[in-house]
Structure 1
Amino acid sequence: METLHIGEIKLTWLNGGVTHLDGGAMFGVVPKPLWSKKYPVNENNQIELRTDPILVQANGLNMLIDSGIGNGKMNDKQKRNFGVTEESQLIEDLGKLGIQPNDIDYILMTHLHFDHACGLTKREGEAWVPVFERAEIITTQIEWNEMQNPNIRSKSTYWSENWEAVASLVRPFNGEKEITEGIKMIHTGGHSDGHAIIIIEDGLDRLIHMADIMPTHAHANVLWVLAYDDYPMTSIQAKEKWMKSGLENGSWYSFYHDAHYCAIKWNETGKEITAELKRKR
């Protein structure tokens, strides 16, 4: 498991499963000859996208950023459509670290699309139950509202089996929320109306988790946004703000989906990598 320290705060990438989605959808209007130079594509025009939660340990707390694709949530057709080649090993990875599901204090949900939220629940008999019974689930109020009442477009990604069993654990917020000293969530919108990013700081060290407004290192260009984004101009505006801020201050950027990098630092131009944490899987 790959690890990174931001001051005294420790991040560990866990195995949440693997999907393969259409490269054109993941890069929107960007021509394939451009994006395919930066991110490998297979014969089906799909790119590999991990769904790896990040364990964040700070101030005596165990926190997860998102929850992976879970196990047993998808039928064969869904696995084929989403290119699932591996389901989650999240609980197994936590066990290797000596951490049980009830040791998780918070789950920081950047948004509640299925590929981020499936790991929140599991089936017991005929019912869905929480995987992390003691954890508070933090997400924006806007995202939580849409999860419960999806529209004609979003109902394909906001699944009832991912929220009904954990509704009592959800703690929505508006604007921004400090989780603990050095860790806060900030609503950005863009990818979804309620999408949020996460800022982790300790001393002079800083990391920005852009979630799905920058799902891979190849999306660093502020104009390279997903066809999946509900509000692409909002994504662009948020990326402009947080790329400018991060590049000027030498921040790390971390990834949930990137199959090649867990985290990267760029120089002030955003064109040269100055530090990196590569995936070993």
Structure 2
Amino acid sequence: MENLELGTVKLRWLNGGVTHLDGGAMFGVVPKALWTRKYEVNDKNQIELRTDPILIQAEGKNFLVESGIGNGKLNEKQKRNFGVLEESSLDAGLESLGLTASDIDYVFMTHMHFDHACGLTKEVNGELEPVFENAKIITSKIEWDEMRNPNIRSKSTYWKENWQGIEQQVEAFDEEWSFGPLKLVHTGGHSEGHSILIIEDGDSTVVHMADIMPTHAHQNPLWVMAYDDYPMDSIFAKQKWFEYGISRNAWFTFYHDSVYRAVKFDEAGKKTETIERKK
């Protein structure tokens, strides 16, 4: 379990499962000869993408960034198509810290695609129930509205199984939502309702760009996914917040990266500090 400790804020990465998705889709129009220099690819042209929530402890509260892919939410065909080789062991990770899912106070959903939201609900006696029964679930209003009313494109990733049963817990915001040193900011891009997380703790800064920079290899503002609904918005938001992070010597953190949990870059874009994922 990898840690990042700031002044008063602690981050820990938990195991939320793994997917393997098509590398070409993950890097969009970027030629394979370029992106394969930066991120490993298998013989099926798939890249490994973790779905590992970040536990943040701050202000006496337990925050969770995303929810992982859960357990038992995917059928065998879906597991095969999405390259799911392991499901979530979130409960075990929390238990090792003396916590349970009931101890989570807030769940931050940067967006609610299946690989981020499957861990929000579970089936009990044929009914969907919340996994984090005492938590407020924070996401943008645009995201929450589309989650429940997806369009012809987004219905493949916004599943009713991931929102039915948690409606009463959701607190949706317009442009920003904050609690102490933590702030969610709506960006759009990957989805219309996509948000990022900023942490300002004294002299320390964390920028979690979620799926507008899903891995360290997506650092270039122009390297956006074919999965992005609004790629120009992704480019502008990534450029803005990358420059912001660089100006503050920020840690850039990741939910999907199979290599790094967090990276610091210099002004030339070279890595200066890293926290590697333990395999």
- Asked if these proteins are the same fold (TM beyond 0.5), I'd say yes
Which position in structure 1 is the counterpart of 2:234?
235
List aligned pairs for 1:18-29, cutoff 5 A: 18-29=18-29
Q: What is the CA deviation profile of residues 150-199 of structure 1, one whole-angstrom value per residue up to 9, with x for unaligned ones? A: 00000000000100110100000000111x21100000000000000000
Alignment of 1:76-155 (within 5 A): 76-155=76-155
Provide the residue aligned with 2:252 in structure 1: 253
CA distance in 2, matches of 1:79, 1:128: 20
CA shift digits 1:204-223 (9 cap, x unpaired) = 10000000000000000000
Aligned partner letter, 1:219 = H
Task: State whether residues 6 and 201 of structure 1, in contact with CA within 8 Å, keep that contact through their aligned partners in structure 2.
Answer: no
Residue of structure 1 in register with 2:277 after alignment: 279
* In 2, Cα distance between equivalents of 1:194 and 1:168: 19
Give the alignment of 1:1-281 within 5 angstroms: 1-178=1-178, 180-270=179-269, 272-281=270-279
* Whole-angstrom distance in 2 between the partners of 1:153 and 1:120: 22
Q: Distance in 2 between matches of 1:94 and 1:253?
A: 23
Residue aligned with 1:78, SS: helix
d(CA) in 1 for partners of 2:208 and 2:244?
13
Aligned mates of 2:6, 2:67 — CA distance in 1: 21
CA distance in 2, matches of 1:25, 1:183: 31
Q: Work out the percentage of aligned pairs sharing the same amino acid.
A: 63
Matches of 2:267 and 2:260, distance apart in 1 = 19
- The 3-state SS of whatever aligns with 2:243 is helix
> What is the distance in 1 between the residues matched to 2:112 and 2:180?
24
Calculate the TM-score normalised by the size of structure 2.
Answer: 0.99
Say if 1:247 and 1:269, in contact at 8 Å, map to a contact too. Answer: no
Letter in 1 for 2:261: C
Deviation readout 1:31-56 (Å, 9 max, x if unpaired)? 00000000000000000000000000
**Distance (Å, rounded) in 2 between the aligned partners of 1:209 and 1:155:** 26
Alpha-carbon distance between aligned partners in 2 of 1:6 and 1:229, rounded to the nearest angstrom: 32
Give me the whole-angstrom Cα distance separating, in 2, the residues matched to 1:260 and 1:43: 18
Contact 1:6 1:200 in 2 (8 A): no
Secondary structure class of the residue paired with 1:186: strand
How far did residue 7 of structure 1 move? 1.6
Structure 1 alignment gaps of length 5 or more:
none
Runs in 1 of length 4+ with deviation above 3 angstroms?
Answer: none
- TM-score normalised by the chain length of structure 1: 0.99
1:6–1:207 Cα contact (<8 Å) kept? no
Structure 2 Cα separation of the partners of residues 30 and 146 of structure 1: 29
Paired residue secondary structure (2:151): coil
Taking the aligned partners of 2:215 and 2:168, their CA distance within structure 1 comes to 32
1:71 is displaced (CA, Å) by 0.4
CA RMSD after TM alignment:
0.5
Instruction: Describe the SS at the equivalent of 2:144.
Output: helix
Paired AA for residue 134 in structure 2: R
Structure 2 Cα separation of the partners of residues 207 and 189 of structure 1: 19
3-state SS of 2:25 partner: helix
Note the C-alpha offset of 1:91. 1.0
Distance 2:6 2:194 in 1: 23
| Alignment check: 8 A CA contact 1:9 1:56 kept | yes
